[in-house]
Amino acid sequence: MSPALFLVLLLSAGQHGGQGALGCWSSCQRHVQDQALRARVCQLCVTTGRSDAWVLEART
């Protein structure tokens, strides 16, 4: 993980109403096995700000 991405995840981890981007990222990394799918959907944790964004995208 690049230092800039880690910083963005760390800074957004304290978001209200969810687990934050860091928790979302960790969950995505843990549950998505396919490398290509992981690369595509885990970034949604940061770009959308929703903790469930990767789940919704991975199911489509």
Residue type, 49: G
Tokens of 13: 């981890």
Q: Is 0.95 surpassed by the pTM of this model?
A: no
Work out the pLDDT band at 34, boundaries 50, 70, 90: very high
- Give how far the C-alpha of residue 27 lies from the chain's centroid of Cα atoms, to the nearest Å: 7
Asked if residue 37 has pLDDT above 70, the reply is: yes
Q: What average pLDDT does this structure show over 34-49?
A: 87
Q: Return d(Cα 38, Cα 53) in angstroms, integer.
A: 12
Tokens of 39: 């690369």
Tokens of 46: 């940061």
Q: Return d(Cα 44, Cα 21) in angstroms, integer.
A: 9
Place of tokens 């998505």: 32
